[in-house]
Amino acid sequence: MGETVIYMAHDPLSNTEAQVTEFDPALLNAAASQGVVFVAVDAHGNRRIADVSEVKPQKGTEGSLQLVQPVYVDERMQAVVDVFDALQTLMLPEAAALAAADDDPPAQVRDPVETFSAKLAALREITKAGESR
């Protein structure tokens, strides 16, 4: 595991987690005595259970976590929507006919099974790229 960039406080009773932003040792020890588990997280998202004595503010790690990139999300959401559109064409052909009537240029007629297979393959390719985590 790499250098810790944040600490999370995990409450096993309610199965909730929150980033630690208050580092007062008395408060941290009180939380630990009530069963809160502290988790150290590195910049790659790797996690390990940390002792309460380790939980200290991290220095020099500002900006080391990139939680989401809009382009990353947009590409994946479009791939998911494409798969559902293809599935709708397979399951509800009348919906595809209505959508085609709304389009200005006539859409090229393709086999719905081929379309679904192609869109599903594209979605799988995105998840294989290694950036889906």
The pLDDT score that the predictor gives to residue 26 is 93
From the first residue on, what is the mean pLDDT of each consecutive set of 10 residues in the chain (133 residues)? Answer: 88 89 91 94 89 86 56 78 86 71 61 85 78 47
Q: Which amino acid is at 11?
A: D
The pLDDT score that the predictor gives to residue 101 is 61
The pLDDT score that the predictor gives to residue 7 is 92
Domain spans, the chain: 4-54, 70-128
